[in-house]
């Protein structure tokens, strides 16, 4: 089945140690999004790619970066994770600007020790 | 005040009951999503609608654009329906972004 896949589902990293979260999609969608969701809060959009064009939200910390080497894959890099970065990270995709539905992956739960 | 408001925040129901979750928004939108999230889990998209009504199994979603209000109904509720239900409004009208404005969610617990 076509889907949005996130690996790993659970990630533990140490304070200050760089970590990369992965998202892949078999939907051939143009747009890929990364959200951060902290406990009991709504998801917060960090950034998105429209094809190769990167769009950062104004309040996304510089500590968060993203890469999209091809249509299928998108990575979230946290350069120096702090304890406050512990959260669920959700990847989503949408076909393009004419199709509004977003398809979400299962998420990666990040723990920072 | 949040641009997207949900009520109730918490809801407990007995198995078999008819459930309604409400969502009101204060901005112009092009579509509204209903999402489901089980505790500790990822998000599943239930509906996306811009007018009228949609039905999928025991789930029904309605939207009234003039009143800026949407409802999610669950018929014959079951304990496996226990989850957080999130209303999210999309403000963009085309272009490169589909930015969603999320409601605070409704935590539903269906007891057997």
**pLDDT tens for each residue of A32-41:** 999 999 988 8
Interface with chain B: mutation pick from A32, A58, A102, highest number of B CBs within 10 Å: A102
**Mean pLDDT within B62-89:** 95
State the average pLDDT for chain A. 91
pLDDT, residue B3, reads 87
pLDDT exceeding 90 applies to what percent of chain A? 68
Flag if A31 and B96 touch (Cβ within 8 Å): yes
pLDDT at residue B98 greater than cutoff 80: no
Q: Chain B: residue nearest A50 by CA? A: B96
Residue among A50, A102, A105 whose CB faces B100 most closely: A102
H helix runs in B7-104, sequence order: none
- pLDDT (0 to 100) of residue A100: 62
Query: What is the reported pLDDT for A40?
Result: 81
To the nearest whole Å, the CA of B75 is away from the closest chain A CA by 24
User: Interface of chain B against chain A, CB under 8 Å?
Assistant: 30-31, 33, 35, 40-45, 48, 86, 90, 92, 94-100, 102-105
What is the rounded distance in angstroms from the CA atom of residue A30 to the CA atom of residue B45? 18
Q: B95 or A70: which carries more pLDDT confidence? A: A70
CA-to-CA distance for A55 and B12, rounded, in angstroms? 40
What single-letter DSSP state applies at residue A96?
B
Best A4, A9, A42, A86 member to test B by mutation, with max B CBs in 10 Å, is A42
Greatest pairwise CA separation for chain A in angstroms = 42
pLDDT value of position A58:
85
Q: Are B44 and A90 in contact (CB under 8 A)?
A: no
Burial class (CB in 10 A: 0-12, 13-18, 19+), A40: exposed
- C-alpha A111/C-alpha A89 separation (Å) is 11
Q: What is the least distance, in Å, from the CA of B93 to any CA of chain A? A: 8
User: What is the reported pLDDT for B36?
Assistant: 93
Q: Using alpha carbons only, what angle is made at residue B86 by residues B84 and B90, rounded to the nearest 5 degrees?
A: 165
Give B106's contacts in chain A (Cβ within 8 Å): none
CA–CA separation, A19 and A81 (whole Å) = 8
* Edge-to-edge strands, sheet with B59-64: B4-7, B19-25, B69-74, B59-64, B52-56
Of A6, A53, A102, the CB nearest to B96: A53
Q: How confident is the model at residue A22 (pLDDT cuts 50, 70, 90)?
A: very high
Among A12-21, B66-75, B98-107, which stretch is predicted with the lowest mean pLDDT? B98-107
Contacts of B44 in chain A (CB under 8 A): 104
Average confidence (pLDDT) over B53-72? 94
Assign B84 a pLDDT band (cuts: 50, 70, 90).
very high
Q: Which residue has the higher pLDDT, B37 or B2?
A: B37
- Confidence tier at A74 by pLDDT (50, 70, 90): very high
Most confident range (mean pLDDT) of A49-53, A93-97, A105-109, B12-16 is B12-16
């Amino acid at each position: 089945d076509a889907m949005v896949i996130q690996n790993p589902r659970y990630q533990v990293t140490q304070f200050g140690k760089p970590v990369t979260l992965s998202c892949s999609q078999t939907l051939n969608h143009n747009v890929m999004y990364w959200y951060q969701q902290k406990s009991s809060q709504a998801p917060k959009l960090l950034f998105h790619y429209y094809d190769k064009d990167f769009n950062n939200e104004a309040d996304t910390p510089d500590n968060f970066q993203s890469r999209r080497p091809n249509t299928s894959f998108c990575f979230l890099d946290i350069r120096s994770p702090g304890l406050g970065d512990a959260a669920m990270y959700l990847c989503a995709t949408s076909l393009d600007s004419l199709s509004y539905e977003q398809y979400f992956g299962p998420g990666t739960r990040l723990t920072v020790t | 005040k949040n641009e997207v408001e949900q009520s109730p925040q918490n809801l407990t129901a007995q198995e078999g009951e008819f459930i309604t979750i409400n969502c009101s928004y204060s901005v112009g939108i092009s579509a509204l999503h209903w999402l489901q999230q089980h505790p500790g889990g990822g998000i599943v998209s239930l509906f996306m609608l811009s007018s009228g009504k949609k039905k999928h199994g025991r789930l029904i979603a309605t939207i009234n654009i003039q009143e800026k209000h949407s409802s999610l109904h669950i018929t014959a509720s079951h304990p496996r329906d226990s989850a957080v239900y999130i209303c999210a409004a999309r403000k963009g009208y085309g272009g490169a972004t589909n930015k969603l404005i999320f409601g605070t969610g409704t935590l539903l617990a269906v007891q057997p």
